[in-house]
Amino acid sequence: MCGRYASSRSPGDLVIEFEIEENDLEDAAARPHYNVAPTATAPVVVERAVKPDDASTDAERTVRRLRPLTWGLVPSWSKDRTGGARMINARVETLLEKPAYKKAALTRRCLVPADGWYEWQVSPNAKDAKGKPRKQPFFVHPADGTGLAFAGIYEFWKDRTKPDDDPDAWLVTFAVITTAAEPGLDVIHDRMPLVLPRDRWNGWLDPQVRTPDDVRALVEPPAPGRFAAVPVSTRVNSVRNDGPELLEPAPAHQLVGVVDPATGELIGGPSGAAGELF
């Protein structure tokens, strides 16, 4: 799954990188975020068909926008917005089957800019203070140091208790699409966000791409090996913590019962000795 990520690039950088035509970001969404959590507002790239300004033509054009959307999909048919916090991810295997996601997958796709994402590895042998398996957070990011874009879908939801002209009447939300974790990262968790390579960005955003077969072709898993994963401080566990220090590698003495994704080595076991697990 993807339940937390970092997104620190400036709006100016995102406008250039994603070839944005209209930037709708406000101050809150424009600042760097190193611990984006469900129900938070985050920058998302969308592309929509718009009516022409010139009344002499019926030809539509598309506009690519950088918008602040709420993380946690609320389907248009929902009675209220409360379910959004539970619908932060959409599994790629059922994307075109589940009613909550199918229509959005065909007509309302988006890109979610990110630096990387956090995932928690359940220790095979270490316990926490409550006697439960210890969970070690990792930050997974492109090995070449560049940014990335998650494949996402978005939805419009109308609060029918408010008039149409009320700016709070409409809620626009998104979900991150997830896929099976690639080799190495599956030592941390069995799922990961679907990170789209740059050569698929235009196709994914294109509102004219509407057939299930075309969408399936765009979500084929890219080649593995693009990512690095580093254990980080458990400070990321709290959504109240937010800052670049969350991305820094955790000191070795803080690692207890952690499996190295690259080598399979068990680091800092309860006995203090390291060894091969796989």
Tell me the per-residue pLDDT of 94-123, one tens digit each, with 9 for 90 and over.
999 999 999 999 999 999 999 999 999 999
What total number of domains does the chain contain? 1
Structural domain contains residue 45: yes
Q: Is residue 21 part of a domain?
A: yes
| pTM to 2 decimal places | 0.91
Q: Is residue 273 part of a domain?
A: no
- Dist. CA 29–CA 15, nearest whole Å: 14
What per-residue confidence (pLDDT) applies to 81?
74
Q: How far is the CA of 33 from the CAs of 10, 16, 235, in angstroms?
A: 10, 19, 15
List the CATH number of the domain containing 173: 3.90.1680.10
Neighbours of 148 (CB within 10 A): 22
Q: Is residue 265 part of a domain?
A: no
Question: What distance in Å separates the CA atoms of residue 66 and residue 90, rounded to the nearest whole number?
Answer: 21
The reported pLDDT for the residue numbered 275 is 38
User: pLDDT value at position 100?
Assistant: 92
The count of residues in the chain is 278
Question: What pLDDT is attached to residue 278?
Answer: 31
Contact 45, 113 (CB under 8 A): yes
Q: If you ran DSSP here, which 8-state letter would residue 213 be given?
A: H
Mean pLDDT of 175-196: 97
Stronger pLDDT, 276 or 38, i.e. the higher one: 38
Residues serving a catalytic function are 2, 119
pLDDT higher than 80, residue 60: no
Q: pLDDT at residue 88 above 90? A: yes
pLDDT confidence of residue 54:
54
Rounded to an integer, what distance in angstroms lies between the CA atom of residue 125 and that of residue 60?
59
Segment 192-216 mean pLDDT: 97
pLDDT band at 248 (very low <50, low <70, confident <90, very high): very high
CB 108 within 8 A of CB 173: no
Per-residue model confidence (pLDDT) at position 56 = 53
Domain range for residue 98?
5-249
> Quick check: is 261 in a domain?
no
Residue 122 covered by a domain: yes
Cα–Cα distance for residue pair 114/117, rounded to 1 Å: 8
Over 90: is that where the pLDDT of 138 sits? yes
* 269 domain-assigned: no
Provide the pLDDT for residue 166.
Answer: 82
Q: Is the pLDDT of residue 209 over 80?
A: yes
Question: The tokens of 5 are what?
Answer: 């990520």
Q: Is residue 157 one of the residues assigned to a domain? A: yes
Kindly state the tokens that stand for 29.
């969404």
Which residues, including other chains, have CB under 8 Å from residue 77's CB and lie 6 or more apart?
none
Average the pLDDT over 16-30 and give the result.
Answer: 87
Residue 274 pLDDT greater than 50, yes or no:
no
**What is the pLDDT, as a whole number, of residue 277?**
36
